[in-house]
Structure 1
């Protein structure tokens, strides 16, 4: 099986320059650098430039008050930051849902959106220490928070999620969750649990959600999913049978589909709707069906 296509929110173009993050003087110098630019996120929605085709990179004089994190350096060495705040009305940018921005950008710039949104969302949720409840303060240019009470240091979390296609005799399993619209089918997915490998999580989720026993798990690709901070691990697995027993709290409908049916769905010519190109589920289906990216 040949893995094809570009995954949304991947291909990060910035050097995250971890070696600079604890050097407050260096970070401040980067903030003051004339080439420094800032991506403003209003309610976690990145500002898109006029016309909505590119990110709007604000100059320092345009930056509102708010949590600011260091994103990294461009290949030319120019500093890039992200800010959680409301832009002035005269800035020619439009706050855009991150999913829409990722779809419109369709390249490595979307990875910057994923990084910025995940990080700023984490800061919004971690103003207080999980250990003692005292307020925390930003450290390492935004890559940790330090508790002023007990001294605990907190780091941004990433939640691992497996998303997978079970396959058998030229057919793949797709399903629809209760919250998805009728006619929309995707790969099955679930969070990895403590003390569990990715392969074990794939097999467990397939059995729990659809009653399918599977083996021969093959990991294919991964994708950051910044809603708020998941890491999607795409996989394929061999199903032991076609028998289904759905956990209806997780899966409302499921069906086995052929490669021709998947190709038709990806082209909008089937009786069911496939995930959009931004999602790794689209990549899984396209890869399994042999559709070039």
Structure 2
């Protein structure tokens, strides 16, 4: 698929400068450079402005809210300027809408008094289509790393508290010496077609009328093609023949790599496993066009920016080959 890397979070070929991660003296030096940039995050939400990600100087007053020992990650270099991400989750906003933080899609925004009024911490999924490819790569990378550190503070080998190393790209156990690396979970997401129809499904707890492509985690020892066939069969009872890879998307919610595939169904009858999904249906191309336009009475598509939306859009436009 020639346009595969156009998907949101698909990458911008940023220089990640991995050779600088383990050099503490180099890290201190580049942090002190006047051109150094900091991306501020609050509870996994990046700081967004009218032009996209907000890049702050390292001495900005708002960064003082991070507190001693706040997690700082070196993301790489953008146009020669070092770029860091800093966790400001220690800051407590006033009038916090706690319920919104736990919703299906958090649309609340938090504004820091030391920042401009048009700058706010916003849920990445709500703003991802507004970001440039470079901003999207930076935001996805930082969010995934912050989430990993938040949930992996202890050594999986001996249970001792681990420490941040390699400028935020590893954790090291001081007790047994075991290194720990950021986790990425492979997930297959499938455009399953039969003639002029595409298979769509919805999970329990999704917003009303929301449907997307079927998806599931790849199991240990399982090829991608087998994972596609197994997941479709488990969720809908449909048998799948030929499977082709199309595109991939890093999905930092919290740490997946979405592996987009196309599969040809060998059967039509749907048998739902209610433990897996709530509903599934075949949607003809003409109806899918209506759904993507927001005019279908029963179906709303996956959000723009997701690989599901990307694959369906390009299937409708005959751009998969």
- TM-score by length of structure 1 reads 0.93
Which moves more between the two structures, 126-135 or 31-40? 126-135
**What residue number does 1:185 align with?**
211
| TM-align CA RMSD | 1.9
Q: Secondary structure at the match of 2:6?
A: coil
In the alignment of these two chains, the number of paired residues is 290
Mapping of 1:57-136 within 5 angstroms? 57-62=55-60, 63=63, 64-65=66-67, 66-74=70-78, 76-86=79-89, 89-92=113-116, 93-105=119-131, 107-136=133-162
- Are residues 136 and 2 of structure 1, via their aligned partners in 2, closer, same or farther at CA, if it must alter by over 3 Å? closer
**What residue number does 2:35 align with?**
35
**What residue number does 2:226 align with?**
200
**What residue number does 1:176 align with?**
202
**What residue number does 1:290 align with?**
317
How far did residue 292 of structure 1 move? Answer: 7.1
Which moves more between the two structures, 8-17 or 94-103? 8-17
Q: Secondary structure at the match of 1:118?
A: helix
- TM-score by length of structure 2 reads 0.86
Q: Secondary structure at the match of 1:257?
A: strand
How far did residue 138 of structure 1 move? Answer: 1.1
How far did residue 13 of structure 1 move? Answer: 4.8
Q: What are structure 1's unaligned runs of at least 5 residues? A: none
Determine if contact 1:118/1:227 at 8 Å carries over to the other structure: yes
Deviation sequence 1:53-74 (CA, Å, 0-9, x none) = 4211111112233100000001
Determine if contact 1:275/1:282 at 8 Å carries over to the other structure: yes
**Alignment partners' CA distance in 2, 1:5 and 1:262:** 24
Determine if contact 1:38/1:81 at 8 Å carries over to the other structure: yes
Matched, 1:167 2:193: yes
**What residue number does 2:95 align with?**
none
Determine if contact 1:189/1:205 at 8 Å carries over to the other structure: yes
